[in-house]
Amino acid sequence: MAHRYRFDCYELDTSERLLYRDGQPVGVGARAVSLLTTLVRRHGRLVTKAELLDLVWPGLVVEENNLQVQISALRKVLGARMIVTVPGRGYRFVEPLAGSLDLPASSPTWPPPGVPVARESAHESAHEPASAPPRVPSPTPSRPLVFDALSVLPVQATRLLGRERDQAALDALLPAPLITVVGPSGIGKTALALAAAHRWRADRPDGAAWVDLADLRTPDQVVVAVSQSLGLSAAGGEPVHTLAWSLKPLKLLIVLDNAEQVLDGVVALVTALLAEAPGVRLLVTSQVPLKVDGERVFRLGPLSVPSPQAGVDEALTHGAVALFVDQVRAIDRRFQLQPEHLPAIVELCERLDGLALAIKLAAARVPLLGLPGVTQRLGERFRLLSGQQSGVPARHQTLMAALDWSHGLLSASEQAMFRRLAVFAGGFPLCLVSILGEDHGGGERMDEWQVLDTLGSLADRSLVTVEGSDRPRYRLLDSMRDYAELKLADSGEQARLQRHHAHAVAALMEAAYQAYWQEPDAAWLARFGCDIDNVRAALDWAGLHDPELAVALMGACGPLFLLLGLAPEGRRRGHALLSVADAMGPQPAARRYWLEFSRLHWGVDNASMCAWAQRAGAAFREAGDARGLYLAMRCMAGSGMLSPDEARGLLRDMAALEQADWPARLLTQRLLAEVSVLRALEHMADARRVCQTLLVRAQSAGLDGVMSAGLSDLAAICLALGDTDAALRVSQQILARARNRRDNFVVHALAIVACVAFVRSDLPQARATLSDFVAACRIRSWEWLGLYAGLLALLAALEGRHEAAARLLGYTDQACRHVGSRDVLAVYAWSRAHAAVQDALEPTVLQRLLDQGRQLDPESVCTWALGQPPA
Q: What is the pLDDT of residues 142-194, one digit of tens each?
A: 332 233 335 457 877 677 888 888 999 999 999 999 999 987 667 788 889 99
pLDDT at 483: 78
pLDDT at residue 379 above 60? Answer: no
Q: Supply the DSSP symbol for 13.
A: E
pLDDT at 382: 33
Whether the model pTM is above 0.75:
no
Q: What is the mean pLDDT of residues 357-373?
A: 79
H helix runs in 760-823, sequence order = 763-778, 789-798, 802-819
3-state secondary structure at position 143:
coil
Residue that wins the pLDDT comparison between 867 and 728: 728
pLDDT at 400: 61
**Cis peptide leading into residue 111 (ω within 30°):** yes
Judging by DSSP bridges, how do beta strands 295-299 and 280-286 pair with one another?
unpaired
pLDDT at residue 477 above 70? Answer: no
Contact between 281 and 202 (Cβ < 8 Å): no
pLDDT at 717: 94
pLDDT at residue 97 above 60? Answer: yes
Within 10 angstroms of residue 648's Cβ, the number of other Cβ atoms is 16
Contact between 475 and 465 (Cβ < 8 Å): yes
3-state secondary structure at position 277:
coil
pLDDT at 129: 33
pLDDT at residue 663 above 60? Answer: yes
Q: What is the pLDDT of residues 110-140, one digit of tens each?
A: 333 333 332 223 233 223 333 333 333 333 3
Q: What is the mean pLDDT of residues 567-588?
A: 94
pLDDT at residue 95 above 50? Answer: yes
- What does each C-alpha distance from 541 to 426, 544, 556, 862 come to in angstroms? 16, 5, 16, 37
pLDDT at 501: 95
Contact between 788 and 828 (Cβ < 8 Å): no
pLDDT at 523: 93
Q: Which of 559, 658, 557, 647 lies closest to 610, judged by CA?
A: 647
Bridge partners (DSSP) listed for residue 260: none
Q: How confident is the model at residue 236 (pLDDT cuts 50, 70, 90)?
A: low
Q: Which of 170, 173, 153, 147 lies closest to 247, judged by CA?
A: 147
Q: How confident is the model at residue 846 (pLDDT cuts 50, 70, 90)?
A: very high
pLDDT at 652: 96
Contact between 707 and 671 (Cβ < 8 Å): no
Q: What is the mean pLDDT of residues 392-421?
A: 66
For the chain, give the mean pLDDT. Answer: 82
pLDDT at 266: 95
pLDDT at 734: 92
Q: How confident is the model at residue 85 (pLDDT cuts 50, 70, 90)?
A: confident
Q: What is the DSSP string of 383-402?
A: ---TTTSTTS-TTHHHHHHH
Q: What is the mean pLDDT of residues 395-410?
A: 56
Judging by DSSP bridges, how do beta strands 295-299 and 208-212 pair with one another?
unpaired
Contact between 203 and 85 (Cβ < 8 Å): no
pLDDT at 499: 94
Q: What is the mean pLDDT of residues 566-579?
A: 94
CB-based contacts of 616, cutoff 8 Å, min separation 6: 591, 592, 594, 595, 598, 628, 631, 632, 635
Please state, in angstroms and rounded to a whole number, the distance separating the CA atoms of residues 597 and 570: 8
Q: What is the mean pLDDT of residues 441-447?
A: 68
> What does the angle CA 865 – CA 869 – CA 871 come to, to the nearest 5 degrees?
170
Q: What is the mean pLDDT of residues 586-613?
A: 92
Please state, in angstroms and rounded to a whole number, the distance separating the CA atoms of residues 434 and 500: 10
**Helix axis angle, 588-599 to 547-556, nearest 10°:** 50
Bridge partners (DSSP) listed for residue 24: 21
3-state secondary structure at position 284:
strand
Q: What is the mean pLDDT of residues 394-415?
A: 62
